């Protein structure tokens, strides 16, 4: 699975916000305790196995705080790492390294955690055609980075924004007056605006799935369906002329315990909000490892 392009602009904005929040320029503890001329080397390592993601953010943090710090990347995003592995080595002003430590780790632990959880789901469905997708259940302001981390773990991105595609969910369908009415309204909107986009329709029952197919939907999100119902929808698709062109996506309450059964049922896609909203941070640490020395005069 190809890792998505890293959004440098998103990283710049997110890092700037984090540094402002931390008042990094006013790190009084470091200013008052660490000699100004001390040069040191530090290593960022992991205390547990996982998947690396977000290494470019380390470069961005120091580009904004201390461009003279040397950032040596020892693993690439998407690589599996083991406990004790060093991800990044840093050399520069001890003050700069210590002030940036928490910002660097906050980003890196989150993104590595997302990639690691994603990798677990991807491995769980290995050998099936199913692809693992993320959702928009990302941290506010961090969506581009969160979704990048999903791809580092081998997953794929669903829509990045509300403008990327049509996704008719339960509330849209209720407000529009039903599945068919919602699909027809969207088609009219597309025609009126001269737009053509994929239409994904959330359905919660086999009857709704049948109605969506009858209305010509080309993509169905099977929300919180039991595996037996998913299998029935699969048979329904198989019995239709051109049914193989309809994408079927399982979603809702997808855990590692049941993701394989959904994949074995034959769905094309499995979307999982937990990849980004519930991924535990990977346990990383940043420590000065070499004897620090004053900057030569």
Active-site annotation holds for 102: yes
Separation CA 158–CA 178 (nearest Å):
24
The catalytic position among 143, 202, 237, 249 is 202
Q: What's the burial of 29, exposed, middle or buried (CB within 10 Å: 0-12/13-18/19+)?
A: exposed
Residue indicated by tokens 């990347």: 73
Active-site annotation holds for 223: yes
Residue indicated by tokens 């329709």: 201
Residue 292 φ/ψ, nearest 5 degrees: -70, 150
The catalytic position among 12, 80, 89, 102 is 102
Active-site annotation holds for 169: yes
Separation CA 148–CA 6 (nearest Å):
7
The catalytic position among 136, 137, 258, 260 is 137
The catalytic position among 60, 101, 146, 223 is 223
Q: Which residue blocks in the chain are alpha helix, DSSP H?
A: 8-22, 28-33, 55-65, 94-124, 143-152, 170-176, 179-193, 206-214, 227-238, 256-264, 274-277
Residue 107: how many other CB atoms lie within 10 Å: 25
Separation CA 205–CA 199 (nearest Å):
18
Residue 115's alpha-carbon distances to 41, 81, 131, 211, in angstroms, are 27, 11, 15, 37
Separation CA 278–CA 289 (nearest Å):
32
Question: Is the Cβ–Cβ distance between 293 and 92 less than 8 Å?
Answer: no
The catalytic position among 169, 188, 235, 240 is 169
Q: Active-site residue numbers? A: 102, 137, 169, 202, 223
């Amino acid at each position: 699975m190809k890792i998505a392009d890293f959004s440098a602009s998103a990283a710049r904005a997110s890092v700037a916000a984090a540094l402002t929040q931390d008042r990094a320029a006013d790190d009084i503890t470091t200013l008052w305790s660490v000699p100004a001329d001390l040069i040191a080397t530090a290593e960022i390592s992991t205390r547990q196995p996982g998947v690396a993601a977000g290494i470019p953010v380390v470069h961005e943090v120091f580009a904004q705080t201390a461009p003279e710090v040397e950032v040596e990347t020892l693993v690439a995003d998407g690589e599996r790492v083991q406990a004790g592995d060093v991800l990044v080595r840093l050399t520069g002003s001890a003050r700069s390294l210590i002030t940036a430590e928490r910002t660097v780790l906050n980003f890196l632990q989150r993104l590595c955690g997302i990639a690691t959880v994603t990798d677990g789901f991807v491995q769980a469905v290995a050998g099936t055609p199913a692809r693992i997708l993320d959702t928009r259940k990302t941290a506010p302001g961090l969506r581009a980075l969160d979704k990048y981390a999903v791809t580092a773990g081998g997953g794929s991105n669903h829509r990045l924004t509300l403008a990327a595609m049509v996704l008719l969910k339960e509330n849209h369908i209720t407000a529009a007056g039903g599945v068919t009415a919602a699909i027809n309204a969207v088609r009219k909107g597309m025609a009126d605006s001269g737009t053509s986009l994929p239409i994904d329709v959330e359905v919660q029952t086999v009857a709704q799935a049948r109605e969506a197919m009858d209305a010509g939907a080309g993509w169905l999100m099977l929300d919180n369906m039991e595996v037996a119902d998913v299998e029935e929808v699969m048979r329904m698709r198989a019995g239709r002329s051109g049914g193989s062109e309809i994408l079927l996506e399982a979603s809702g309450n997808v855990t590692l315990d049941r993701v394989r059964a959904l994949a074995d049922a034959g769905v094309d896609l499995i979307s999982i909000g937990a990849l980004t909203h519930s991924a535990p941070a990977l346990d990383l640490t940043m420590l000065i490892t070499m004897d620090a020395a004053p900057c030569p005069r």
